[in-house]
């Protein structure tokens, strides 16, 4: 999937309202705070429907309460138009003029954003990793998106009853639905991780430069074989705490290297490589799902990574039909150049860098393997 045009109104500090994009690697360069990340957020919102932050208000320019993004996307089915309108408490998505749900938008293509915040995929709370998994599965399976949404609604109903001290009979009325949906979520996640884990392992090995024992597994919230047994065993605890204490909403992604948890024992370099491996696996799964690589957004990654990891991402960007890369300096190789300053985005007149990705990779290899304390 490729972006052909972007139009935005009132998104954060962006001043430029219309931009055109071409195939290849586009370098978006400017000082810190200029609006480079905001431009990628606008593209991610338009191409994938995802808010750049947790709330609509944080996505909008200060002092405004409405915003708008439109992107024209070139997909396997031709050029499609996506519009996203933001208003207090409401996000409306239109595909070719028709209102659609977020899960339906995911069927036309994909977008993957890699940035410094991905460190939270390793060191953040379990909810961050669950969110990564739910987002990925929701973009590859409409069924999953619908089931996990219904499951969370049931959990909310159970929690409301538990907090109010509702009768066991009232709680039992929700248990069958909780178990039905919870088991399906667990099964869909397990199948997804069976596809995600080998891709993440291969990506980790490629970035690290040598074979590793990196693995990704689903950490269940319960030790019992079946969710029904876990729910029955937790009855006293959940009534005491007023929340549902077992189920997929409390699962985690367990990242290990040679059998040791990266979250607890990994170095900074290993944690960064693990996070990058997850994103590359996401990229490859979306590519396989849609039959074409997703739009690739690389947000200020060169500031945090060593030469080997930079060369790996440069190669990935060069092999992708369209990649947009931000930084205070342009990357080693790019095809188009935009400059950003105080929210104003304009083409920059500069000489195209012709050094090949293969040469970049060779230079990185000469510097030796990635440091575990980087």
Q: What is the CATH number of the domain that holds 26?
A: 3.40.50.300
Kindly state the average pLDDT of the residues 342-354.
71
Among candidate residues 287, 312, 339, the one with its CA nearest the CA of residue 136: 287
Quick check: is 116 in a domain? no
Quick check: is 121 in a domain? no
Total domains, the chain: 1
Quick check: is 33 in a domain? yes
Kindly state the average pLDDT of the residues 226-244.
93
Q: What is the mean pLDDT of the chain?
A: 88
pTM, full prediction: 0.88
Quick check: is 74 in a domain? yes
Pairing of strands 295-299, 260-261: unpaired
Among candidate residues 21, 15, 89, the one with its CA nearest the CA of residue 57: 89
Quick check: is 363 in a domain? yes
**Helix 357-366 vs helix 307-319: angle between axes, to the nearest 10 degrees?**
160
Among candidate residues 346, 319, 335, 350, the one with its CA nearest the CA of residue 27: 335
Least-confidence region, from 43-57, 157-171, 244-258: 43-57
Find residue 24's DSSP bridge partners: 322
* Model confidence band, residue 349 (pLDDT cutoffs 50, 70, 90): low
Give CA–CA dist 340/148, Å, rounded: 39
Quick check: is 183 in a domain? no
The sheet with strand 111-114 has its strands ordered as: 111-114, 295-299, 322-327, 24-29, 336-341, 344-347
* Model confidence band, residue 101 (pLDDT cutoffs 50, 70, 90): confident
Quick check: is 249 in a domain? no
Q: Is the pLDDT score of 355 beyond 80? A: no
Kindly state the average pLDDT of the residues 37-51.
89
Which one-letter DSSP state was computed for residue 52? S
Which residues span the domain enclosing 36?
1-109+302-374
Quick check: is 41 in a domain? yes
């Amino acid at each position: 999937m490729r972006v052909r045009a972007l139009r935005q109104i009132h998104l954060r500090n962006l001043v430029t309202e219309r931009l055109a994009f071409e195939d290849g690697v586009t370098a978006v360069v400017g000082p810190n705070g200029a609006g480079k990340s905001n431009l990628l957020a606008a593209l991610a919102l338009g191409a994938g429907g995802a808010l750049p932050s947790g709330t609509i208000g944080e996505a909008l320019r200060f002092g405004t309460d409405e915003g708008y993004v439109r992107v024209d996307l070139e997909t396997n089915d031709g050029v499609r138009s996506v519009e996203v309108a933001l208003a207090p408490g409401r996000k409306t998505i239109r595909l070719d003029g028709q209102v659609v749900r977020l899960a339906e938008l995911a069927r036309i293509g994909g977008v993957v954003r890699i940035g410094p915040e991905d460190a939270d995929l390793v060191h953040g709370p379990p909810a961050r990793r669950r969110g990564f998994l739910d987002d990925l599965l929701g973009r590859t399976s409409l069924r999953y998106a619908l089931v996990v949404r219904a499951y969370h609604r049931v959990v909310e109903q159970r929690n409301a009853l538990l907090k109010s001290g509702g009768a066991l009979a009232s709680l039992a009325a929700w248990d069958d639905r909780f178990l039905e949906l919870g088991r399906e979520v667990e099964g869909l996640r397990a199948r997804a991780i069976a596809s995600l884990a080998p891709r993440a392992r291969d990506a980790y090995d490629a970035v690290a430069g040598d074979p590793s024992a990196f693995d990704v597994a689903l950490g269940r919230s319960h030790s019992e074989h079946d969710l029904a047994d876990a729910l029955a065993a937790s009855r006293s605890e959940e009534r005491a705490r007023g929340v549902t204490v077992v189920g997929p909403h409390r699962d985690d992604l367990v990242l290990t290297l040679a059998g040791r948890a990266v979250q607890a024992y990994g170095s900074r370099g290993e944690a960064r490589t693990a996070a990058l491996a997850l994103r590359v696996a996401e990229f490859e799964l979306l590519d396989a799902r849609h039959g074409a690589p997703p739009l690739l957004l690389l947000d200020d990654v060169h500031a945090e990574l060593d030469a080997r990891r930079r060369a790996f991402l440069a190669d990935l960007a060069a092999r992708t039909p369209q990649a947009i890369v931000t930084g205070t300096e342009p990357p080693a190789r790019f095809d188009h150049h935009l400059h950003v300053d105080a929210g104003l985005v304009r083409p920059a007149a500069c000489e195209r860098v012709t050094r090949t990705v293969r040469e970049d990779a060779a230079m990185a290899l000469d510097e030796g393997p990635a440091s575990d304390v980087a």
